[in-house]
């Protein structure tokens, strides 16, 4: 079993004819993801990759193909409108890869999404993958194998590194989710932990956080009080000085909050094993198997 994406996914790509959209659409198709259509305003009626129809609007794409998932590869100044368009068209899951979306634009997006059933992953994220079923995003498919470990991460680099190390140890994933590290995003650690907790095939979870904000502390509270499955954690940015942004816009220690030490302490107190560096994650996960 998987969460969020799998064999049921019917994907439409917003920005399919752009350079990034075209490149990653080809990777997703080659992986086996059912890409049923693309959207580029003004190019409706054209075809991409020989057999993928292009539409002017997401609503047209949904009507013609039954798409239930969208991925967004459009410039930051258009991305907020693209998310809202997908939700307004009834898409169940929207994955926004775009980085640099203004915070105030995302405030409006969140307010709109709260009135719909649509779930947003991202923005500024690598997407997600259910190995051997569907890849929706830019995560390299070859570093993830099918297994029983759920993976959720804010840090794209640590996400990829931990996935590669796990693969080398023969540890596979049910689904790997990159939620992104912007100050305002669509899906939190807490949301994904709840889904993994309810998934019968996910036997343990890897949680990769980073400095900034308090999402990891909220996740730790859930782990302590509700989670029945082992959790292995890692916090990126442990050497970052206060006030210095590290990578994501949300990865900044401000007002003395959001430090790596606080997050590590919270996860440890919740009963999670916390790795000192990404390469140790697979070792800790493997120790839970014995």
Classified as helix, coil or strand, 5 is: coil
Catalytic residue positions, numbered: 248
Residue 65 CB neighbour total at 10 angstroms: 18
Question: What is the four-CA torsion angle of 232, 120, 57, 139, rounded to 10 degrees?
Answer: -10
**Residue 114: CB partners within 8 Å, gap ≥ 6?**
none
Question: What Å distances lie between residue 117 and 93, 218, 263, CA to CA?
Answer: 9, 23, 31
Per the listing, tokens 């409706």 go with 44
From start to end of the chain, where are the E strands?
A: 11-14, 35-39, 47-48, 52-55, 69-72, 93-96, 119-121, 127-130, 134-137, 146-153, 173-178, 204-210, 231-236, 273-274
């Amino acid at each position: 079993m998987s969460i969020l994406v799998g064999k049921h996914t019917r994907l439409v790509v917003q920005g399919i004819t752009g350079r990034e959209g075209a490149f990653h659409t080809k990777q997703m198709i080659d992986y086996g993801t059912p890409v049923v259509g693309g959207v580029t305003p003004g190019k409706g009626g054209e075809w991409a990759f020989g057999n993928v129809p292009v539409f002017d609007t997401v609503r047209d794409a949904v009507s013609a193909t039954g798409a239930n998932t969208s991925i967004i590869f459009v410039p930051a100044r258009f991305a907020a409108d693209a998310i809202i368009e997908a939700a307004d068209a009834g898409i169940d899951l929207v994955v926004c890869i775009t980085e640099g979306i203004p915070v105030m634009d995302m405030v409006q997006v969140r307010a709109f999404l709260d009135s719909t059933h649509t779930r947003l992953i991202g923005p500024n994220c690598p997407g997600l993958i259910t190995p051997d079923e569907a890849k929706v995003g830019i995560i390299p498919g070859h570093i993830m194998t099918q297994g029983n470990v759920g993976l959720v991460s804010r840090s794209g680099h640590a996400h990829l590194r931990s996935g590669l190390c796990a693969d080398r140890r023969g540890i596979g994933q049910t689904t790997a989710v990159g939620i992104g590290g912007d100050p305002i995003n669509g899906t939190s650690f807490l949301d994904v932990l709840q889904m993994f907790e309810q998934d019968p095939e996910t036997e343990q979870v890897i949680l990769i956080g980073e400095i900034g904000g308090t999402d990891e502390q909220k996740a730790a509270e859930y782990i302590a009080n509700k989670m029945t499955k082992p959790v292995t954690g890692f916090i990126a940015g442990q050497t970052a000085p206060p006030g210095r942004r590290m990578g994501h816009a949300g990865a900044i220690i401000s007002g003395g909050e959001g430090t790596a030490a606080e997050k590590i302490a919270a996860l440890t107190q919740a009963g999670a094993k916390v790795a000192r560096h990404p390469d140790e994650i697979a070792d800790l996960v493997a120790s839970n198997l014995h």
